[in-house]
């Protein structure tokens, strides 16, 4: 079936207002009686709070209140989700732990009050556990002694259900374990003609969104209703948590989702409960905004990891053994993406023998959060580096080696579940044809390849489609658009309704009126919400055709909708405009019900999306500086609903991947203080760091997604660091084992390397 | 079936915030960059606009723009709906016609600019047609020469479809006619033993809401989206008109309905298109707020009418002839409630011979609008006065006389259609038992009775019900709550879902995300939207029980929901909380679709609601002052979903009816200028003017309404003036023929009356 709207590149509906600066963010809103809050963050990773000079700060003109944990009659005794932590009570657990909040009439007064707090606060520093290996020692003091149960975040950030091994009975800082075993790993290693093992380290990476976290809350004491304006990726998740922390019914909390100025997984829940608590206590609207320095100290970056990977293969290139030990430093609260990392590490390629173990360790650092494909860039960096070494050691073409072992639909994942239909092989085959790869010999060394993907999230969703009396349609969903999904969802509906996409508008409603939807995480909005939109559009179409059939005295089966007009197939004169049909459903005494298509879906069939990347780099051997000079991506997207938007996601993923690969890391000193608290210390890729990117959209349709689409938000970031690392190997024979690959890492690797 | 929630008196959800002054109205909103607009209204009823000193007004500091019709590239050439009129072009057609608008940085600057305009504007006054009889003269100049087609308002304000007679071909100021004929009126009059005929006059009455009209609009030029915050009774009607006037797709206009500080029919569409036009032209948010004086001059009051009614009956009390001539002065645009007045006048009582004719006349006065049961208080005043005289003349008990002739289900309306099931007789029978009526002889004269009702509006509607993970529910509708309908709709859903009403919240969404619904007019929200809510709740209940059946391994038919818990009938241990069921539909990988009940309904079966009122008055014969000292209402409500709210509607209706009866009128001088432009000149009832009111809720269930409910917003105002007039007759033998019954009307009637 040829599509009329799906597959067309359509500009993002929010594009112009964003690039012209007209988008209103939370911090732009004006509101009667608004108060401004600033957080006082612990300067110590671990300390007893001795004295907070609240009275002195309150004396600052314009300061309305200075609150500590004792002033907040809300919340969990021991919160296990960062966003549910209001203020530290008694002890601080990371440098950046919020200890008090200053609320003032103006931002300036709040800053002055904060200064007064900072200069007079007294802490008793305690030993801080900064190194996860030390923290994992059973004798180590506990970072979170009272923590009961598991973090809810693990299941949010990973796209898989967490089925970790039972913890030791004894409390320790090891708060999560995962193990996948298949066959006999020792036998697999014995049977291998070549075994390569390496240990990789990745750094804490910050999501580095341009808009800092900002939340405004207002409370009406008579109706006991709380309204929260916030840049969140998760409307209903945010509502549920705010309601629970503040002891309100969910229906009394209205989350109004504001434009998200960069999320990448970090804008799910952070300030919402605290802002709500302040609004309830103070009886006025309160806005909490983080500074950039606050962001680096108190928000939730991606975890550092240590990944030991050992692979064994037969001489013919058949992979037979995958062994890995993963360690994720979760910071002060659990929630590391253990499972997904283990699944990707052991699942992308098939081997009869497999043993993957993972541990999550708590330390006195900021609790980690989700960042675009959590755990997968780390896993891909480790896996794809060793895969490359193995191919090289066996004298095999790296893509051929991957193709020989790449998983396909029906093959088992480490968990034993079968892979659904995936496009890993198709992506590898496609990237083989890219000129950079084909001409790599001729053009000289410095070309690396890597593959990787993402399982894709799942979450139930509803969608509504309402037809308007002018013949246009509105699609109403509860999902947040952080990546252009609004445009794609409108296309999906337009296709089904026979309308031009310009006549269909997507409405992301607030939590009061939106149909249910999961958070924008796990690359699942187009897949899960989009499936509900297809069904809702079918429902609306059916209602429309039933009404048209009565008016045109024709059978529904003979009707078609084209360009907003319903006609009888083969009878050009028998038509009625959609607008005229909808008018029959509106107005005093109208006899036809409104055309209102609805669907609720809960897909449990995943649609993992794989891609293969090729990087060409230039390496300056003297300085160790690496520059990515050319780049190509073959990405399976199932079906590109809006190719321009899909390409945009790939561009963004590669750009962020270059950051992961070459630039980005948060550094902590031995006491656990953040040494990289500004964008002067924390290096983000700039335009000149991002290479030209050729994109080949591979379409291996998903079984359940709308028109075969798969989620494409996260996958493109996954293989980038590995492709660059493999290009460095290709250029120099040096194997880098650490992210980011800053010059000193390259220089050290070059020193270790045999000369090529 | 006993109800657990329906029939319980539940406080209005918005009550506390309203009485404590916390409700935010449009004029309370703060907004970045907001501009303030004031209208310059024509001081002349009919004039040529010669000069508007825009430059002088623009020179006032803070004034940003001064605009006339020539500056507005929007709208209809000849708008036929008041709210679609932006600014007068060339000529003014009523004193109060907006001629220009001043937009300024502050309200004060706008007022200063307005003063400059007013002092320098020049008009050429033209002869004004103020008297509708003169205007009806075929030789009279036309008030609206260019007017093409009928007003859309007629069908909005009346609760019936307008099926008026074809106009004369010749253009005239008679813009609407209606005629209903049955039998042979001359024969009916001949066969009558007694014929009573009288001519009644009613005044222009203002809806006198406390909150003046206020609308804010903001336009985003990149997305070309217009957002309008307004106190409207009609979300989608307002959107449709704004979109049409401004040439935007409906989906590009978002109407955010704000709290309505009194509507009564007048807050449907007035400033929305103009505010939108200003926002589009000026590129900043603009708020237009009317002053009280503006309200009296430029808004849309209820029409004045002249009603000649002649009834004939046999000696035994059988009504045989109904003859009437109705004349409504519509002001400068069509839209008078001719049809409904004619239907009520000829339909409440049965007579074999009937001839009712009505005409709508345009004059140079403010175009009229809807006001609570448009046309019905006027019709009831005339009809019930003559009915009373007829009973008196025949020596019959006035209630017995009414009961003998009152229509019941199946009897024909003047249009020939049959009445559906109605409770006129039941209400009359109930009011007979009221102590004031029963003891009227013993307690002395001054007691009057009257009956009346309202057809009840119809309009298609959808509704959604979303269950929350804490077990609560949200009902999402597109109707505006002007009378407590939100509380009743929540009760309707709670009843069906087996939840306490405190766990169900009604959300009146904005036009972006709301399900379709008609405007809050015609007393139809509980009836039409409530019917959709019942069905949506059934749908949600079905989904919930299907899920529960799987979890409890029981048959759906054996399940019941009580207090938020689903249980197996007769097996107390087999239960699961609604909250736990809903949690199975939410979160990563959840396998059950969200529970989301939806229904779309288009009821075409009316549910007219009748009532009978008894008033006891005290008449001071010297001064002519009338005081209502006791009052009783028997009102058929079908089913009282929320008895407290229904009683509140009856209280309000009686209070406004006392205003109609005794106090309220707008006066115009011979040039058509408004003489009653403030609340000093226009008398509203005060608390001391409103008698104690006993209420008897009669429940004759409607065939299609939710749990049998009928609309009760409008009916209670209908018989009040007639009951008071009949009490005056009872007290004094004087028949008043004019509303309001101010002292001079009473004195004149007393002079005419035979002594009793």
Q: Does residue A510 contact residue A257 with C-beta atoms inside 8 Å? A: yes
How many interface pairs between A and B have CB atoms less than 8 angstroms apart?
Answer: 220
State the average pLDDT over residues A580-605: 96
A55 and A116 assigned to the same domain: yes
How many CB atoms are closer than 10 A to CB A362? 29
State the average pLDDT over residues A401-412: 98
Look at the pTM and tell me if it is higher than 0.80: yes
Q: Helix, strand, or coil here: A387?
A: helix
> CA–CA separation, B154 vs B174, rounded Å?
14
Mark yes or no for CB contact B516/A586 under 8 Å. Answer: yes
Mark yes or no for CB contact A17/B223 under 8 Å. Answer: yes
Phi and psi of B288, rounded to 5°?
-115, 125
pLDDT of residue A755: 63
**Which DSSP string corresponds to A159-175?**
SS---PPPPPSS--SEE
Domain boundary among B566, B601, B636: B601
Q: Helix, strand, or coil here: A392?
A: helix
The DSSP H or E segment spanning B538 is helix B530-552
Mark yes or no for CB contact A594/B600 under 8 Å. Answer: yes
pLDDT of residue B754: 79
State the average pLDDT over residues B163-176: 70
pLDDT in tens, A70-112: 999 998 888 889 999 999 999 999 999 999 999 999 999 999 9
- Domain for residue A10, yes or no? no
> In this structure, what token pair is assigned to residue A437?
């790869």
**Which DSSP string corresponds to A615-641?**
EEEEEETTTTEEEEEEEEEEEE-SS-S
How many CB atoms are closer than 10 A to CB A58? 18
Q: Does residue A232 contact residue A216 with C-beta atoms inside 8 Å? A: no
Q: pLDDT grade, residue A10 (50/70/90)?
A: very high
Question: What ipTM, to 2 d.p.?
Answer: 0.94
pLDDT of residue A154: 41
Query: Each residue of B611-648: b (16+ CB within 10 Å) or e?
Result: bbbbbbbebeeeebebebebbbbbbbbbbbbbbebbbb
pLDDT of residue B162: 41
Q: pLDDT grade, residue A442 (50/70/90)?
A: confident
> CA–CA separation, B334 vs B93, rounded Å?
13
- Domain for residue B331, yes or no? yes
Mark yes or no for CB contact B518/A32 under 8 Å. Answer: no
pLDDT of residue B169: 59
Q: Quote the longest CA-to-CA distance of chain B.
A: 86
- Domain for residue A59, yes or no? yes
Query: Each residue of A501-540: b (16+ CB within 10 Å) or e?
Result: bebbbbbbbbbbbbbbbbbbbbbbbbbbbbbbbbbbbbbb
**Chain B residues within an 8 Å CB radius of A81:** none
For all residues of chain B together, what is the average pLDDT?
A: 95
The whole-angstrom distance between residue A277's C-alpha and the CA centroid of its chain comes to 27
B355 and B449 assigned to the same domain: yes
pLDDT at B238 over 60: yes
pLDDT in tens, B401-456: 999 999 999 999 999 999 999 999 999 999 999 999 999 988 778 999 999 999 99
Mark yes or no for CB contact B592/A460 under 8 Å. Answer: yes
Alpha helices in B88-234 (DSSP H): 107-120, 132-136, 153-157, 185-191
Tell me the percentage of chain A whose pLDDT exceeds 70: 97
Tell me the percentage of chain B whose pLDDT exceeds 90: 92
Q: Helix, strand, or coil here: A428?
A: helix
pLDDT in tens, A504-518: 999 999 999 999 999
pLDDT of residue B755: 62
pLDDT at B114 over 60: yes
Residue identified by tokens 């609150």 is A67
Short-list A613, A202, A203, A199, CA closest to A389: A199
pLDDT at A417 over 50: yes
pLDDT at A152 over 90: no
- Domain for residue B479, yes or no? yes
Mark yes or no for CB contact A587/B516 under 8 Å. Answer: no
Mark yes or no for CB contact A222/B604 under 8 Å. Answer: no
pLDDT in tens, B337-371: 999 999 999 999 999 999 999 999 999 999 999 99
> CA–CA separation, B657 vs B660, rounded Å?
5
Q: Does residue A503 contact residue A493 with C-beta atoms inside 8 Å? A: no
**Chain A residues within an 8 Å CB radius of B588:** 155-156, 158-159, 161, 457-459, 518, 522
Q: Does residue B239 contact residue B225 with C-beta atoms inside 8 Å? A: no
Angle between the N-to-C axes of helices A376-394 and A720-732, in degrees from 0 to 180, rounded to the nearest 10: 30
Residues constituting chain A: 756
B553 and B656 assigned to the same domain: no
Residue B169 burial (10 A CB sphere; 0-12, 13-18, 19+): exposed
Residues 6+ apart with CB under 8 A from B73: none
State the average pLDDT over residues A36-40: 98
B650 and B746 assigned to the same domain: yes
- Which of A20, A509, A590 lies nearest to residue B222, judging by beta carbons? A20
**Chain B residues within an 8 Å CB radius of A513:** 474, 476, 507, 509-510, 513-514
B744 and B629 assigned to the same domain: yes
> CA–CA separation, B441 vs B87, rounded Å?
58
pLDDT at B153 over 50: no
pLDDT at A166 over 80: no
CA angle, residues B523, B527, B528, in degrees to nearest 5: 100
Q: Across the strands, what pairs with A177? A: A359
Query: Each residue of A383-415: b (16+ CB within 10 Å) or e?
Result: bbbbbbbbbbebebbbbebbbbbbbeeeeebbb
Question: Sheet holding B47-51: strands in order across?
Answer: B91-92, B47-51, B122-125
A557 and A647 assigned to the same domain: no
B284 and B308 assigned to the same domain: no
pLDDT at B155 over 50: no
State the average pLDDT over residues B272-300: 98
Short-list A471, A594, A474, CA closest to B529: A594
> CA–CA separation, A105 vs B266, rounded Å?
40
State the average pLDDT over residues B457-473: 97
How many CB atoms are closer than 10 A to CB A203? 21
- Of chain B, the end-to-end C-alpha distance in Å amounts to 53
Of the two residues B568 and B2, the one the predictor is more confident about is: B568
- Of chain A, the end-to-end C-alpha distance in Å amounts to 53
CATH of the domain at A624: 3.30.365.10
pLDDT in tens, B705-714: 999 999 999 9
Beta pairing, strands A353-362 & A319-331: parallel
pLDDT of residue B163: 44
pLDDT at B152 over 50: no
Query: Each residue of B284-322: b (16+ CB within 10 Å) or e?
Result: bbbbbbbbeebbbbbbbbbbbbbbebbbbbeeebbbbbb
- Domain for residue A402, yes or no? yes
- How close does chain B come to A468, measured CA to CA in Å? 7
**Chain B residues within an 8 Å CB radius of A243:** 470
Short-list A95, A710, A583, CA closest to B602: A583
> CA–CA separation, A151 vs A129, rounded Å?
20
The DSSP H or E segment spanning B698 is strand B693-698
Short-list A458, A534, A461, CA closest to A493: A534
pLDDT at B523 over 60: yes
- Domain for residue B538, yes or no? yes
- How close does chain B come to A214, measured CA to CA in Å? 18
B416 and B331 assigned to the same domain: yes
pLDDT of residue A148: 53
Short-list A632, A624, A637, A621, CA closest to A723: A632
Angle between the N-to-C axes of helices A235-246 and A272-282, in degrees from 0 to 180, rounded to the nearest 10: 50
**Chain A residues within an 8 Å CB radius of B602:** 585, 590-594
Structural domain that includes position A359: 304-457+605-752
B481 and B568 assigned to the same domain: yes
State the average pLDDT over residues B713-739: 97
pLDDT of residue B118: 96
Question: Sheet holding A63-68: strands in order across?
Answer: A63-68, A98-104, A35-41, A286-289, A214-220, A225-230, A253-257
- Domain for residue A79, yes or no? yes
Short-list A336, A268, A343, CA closest to A302: A336
State the average pLDDT over residues B651-667: 98
Residue B743 burial (10 A CB sphere; 0-12, 13-18, 19+): middle
For all residues of chain A together, what is the average pLDDT?
A: 95
- How close does chain A come to B287, measured CA to CA in Å? 15
- How close does chain B come to A674, measured CA to CA in Å? 33
Domain boundary among B584, B601, B618: B601
- Domain for residue B141, yes or no? no
pLDDT of residue B220: 93
State the average pLDDT over residues B600-628: 96
State the average pLDDT over residues A269-288: 98
Domain boundary among A568, A601, A634: A601
State the average pLDDT over residues B198-217: 98
Query: Each residue of B714-737: b (16+ CB within 10 Å) or e?
Result: bbbbbbbbbbbbbbbbbbbbbbbb
pLDDT of residue A163: 45
Residue B274 burial (10 A CB sphere; 0-12, 13-18, 19+): buried
- How close does chain B come to A635, measured CA to CA in Å? 24
- How close does chain A come to B651, measured CA to CA in Å? 24
State the average pLDDT over residues A281-288: 98
- The number of folded domains in chain B is 3
CATH of the domain at B57: 3.90.1170.50
Q: Does residue A357 contact residue A324 with C-beta atoms inside 8 Å? A: yes
pLDDT at B76 over 90: no
B341 and B433 assigned to the same domain: yes
Residues 6+ apart with CB under 8 A from B576: B548, B551, B552, B565, B566
Lowest mean pLDDT among A131-135, A142-146, B74-78, B705-709: B74-78
A262 and A411 assigned to the same domain: no
State the average pLDDT over residues A639-655: 97
B410 and B493 assigned to the same domain: no
């Amino acid at each position: 079936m040829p599509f009329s709207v799906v597959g067309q590149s359509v500009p993002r509906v929010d594009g112009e207002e964003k690039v012209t600066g007209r988008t209103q963010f939370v911090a732009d809103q004006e509101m009667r009686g608004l108060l401004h809050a600033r957080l006082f963050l612990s300067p110590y990773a671990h300390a007893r709070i001795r004295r907070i000079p609240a009275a002195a700060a309150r004396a600052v003109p314009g300061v309305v209140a200075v609150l500590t944990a004792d002033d907040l009659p809300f919340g969990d005794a021991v919160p296990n989700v960062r966003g549910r932590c209001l203020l530290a009570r008694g002890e601080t657990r990371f440098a950046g732990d919020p200890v008090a909040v200053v609320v003032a009439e103006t931002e300036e007064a709040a800053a002055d009050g904060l200064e007064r707090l900072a200069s007079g606060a007294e802490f008793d520093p305690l030993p801080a556990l900064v190194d996860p290996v030390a923290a994992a020692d059973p004798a180590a003091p506990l970072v979170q002694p009272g923590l009961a149960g598991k973090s809810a975040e693990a299941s949010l950030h990973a796209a898989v259900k967490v089925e970790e091994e039972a913890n030791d009975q004894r409390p320790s800082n090891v708060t999560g374990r995962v193990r996948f075993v298949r066959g006999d790993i020792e036998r697999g290693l014995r049977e291998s003609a070549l075994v390569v093992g390496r240990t990789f380290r990745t750094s804490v990476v910050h999501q580095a969104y341009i808009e800092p976290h900002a939340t405004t809350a207002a409370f009406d004491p008579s109706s006991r209703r709380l309204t929260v304006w916030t840049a969140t990726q998760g409307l209903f998740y945010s509502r549920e948590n705010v309601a629970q922390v503040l002891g309100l019914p969910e229906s009394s909390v209205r989350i109004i989702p504001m434009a998200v100025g960069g999320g990448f997984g970090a804008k799910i829940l952070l300030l919402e409960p605290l802002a709500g608590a302040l609004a309830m206590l103070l009886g006025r609207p309160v806005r909490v905004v983080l500074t950039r320095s606050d962001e680096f100290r108190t928000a939730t970056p991606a975890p550092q990891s240590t990944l030991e990977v050992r692979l064994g293969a037969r001489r013919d290139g058949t992979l037979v053994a995958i062994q890995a030990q993963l360690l994720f430093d979760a910071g002060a609260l659990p929630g590391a993406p253990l499972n997904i990392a283990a699944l990707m590490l052991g699942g992308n390629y098939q081997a009869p023998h497999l043993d993957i173990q993972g541990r999550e360790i708590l330390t006195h650092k900021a609790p980690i959060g989700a960042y675009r494909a959590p755990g997968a860039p780390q896993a891909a960096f480790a896996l794809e580096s060793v895969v490359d070494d193995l191919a090289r050691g066996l004298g095999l073409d790296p893509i051929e080696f991957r193709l020989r072992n790449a998983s396909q639909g029906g093959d088992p994942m480490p968990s034993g579940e079968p892979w659904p239909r995936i496009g890993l092989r198709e992506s590898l085959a496609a990237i083989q044809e890219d000129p950079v790869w084909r001409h790599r010999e001729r053009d000289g060394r410095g070309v690396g390849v890597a593959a990787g993907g993402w399982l894709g999230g799942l979450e139930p969703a509803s969608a509504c489609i309402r037809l308007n009396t002018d013949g246009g349609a509105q699609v109403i969903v509860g999902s947040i658009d952080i990546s252009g999904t609004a445009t794609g969802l409108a296309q999906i509906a337009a296709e089904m309704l026979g309308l031009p996409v310009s006549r269909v508008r997507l409405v992301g409603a607030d939590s009061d009126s939106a149909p249910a939807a999961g958070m924008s995480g796990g690359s699942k909005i187009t897949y899960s919400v989009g499936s509900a939109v297809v069904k809702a559009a079918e429902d609306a179409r059916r209602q429309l055709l039933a009404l048209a059939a009565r008016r045109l005295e024709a059978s529904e089966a003979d009707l078609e909708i084209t360009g907003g007009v319903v006609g009888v197939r083969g009878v050009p004169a028998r038509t009625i405009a959609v607008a005229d049909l909808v008018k029959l459903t509106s107005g005093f005494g109208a006899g036809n019900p409104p055309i209102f298509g609805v669907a609720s879906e809960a897909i449990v069939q995943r649609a993992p999306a794989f891609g293969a990347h090729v990087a060409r780099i230039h390496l300056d051997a003297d300085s160790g500086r690496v520059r990515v000079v050319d780049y190509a991506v073959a990405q399976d997207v199932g079906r590109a609903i809006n190719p321009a938007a899909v390409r945009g996601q790939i561009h963004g993923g590669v750009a962020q991947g270059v950051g992961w690969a070459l630039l980005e890391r948060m550094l902590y000193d031995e006491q656990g203080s953040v040494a990289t608290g500004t964008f002067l210390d924390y290096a983000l890729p700039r335009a000149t760091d991002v290479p030209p990117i050729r994109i080949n959209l591979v379409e291996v349709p998903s079984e359940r997604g709308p028109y075969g689409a798969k989620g494409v938000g996260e996958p493109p970031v996954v293989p980038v660091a590995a492709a660059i690392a493999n290009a460095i190997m290709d250029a120099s024979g040096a194997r880098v084992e650490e992210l980011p690959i800053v010059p000193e890492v390259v220089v050290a690797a070059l020193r270790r390397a045999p000369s090529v």
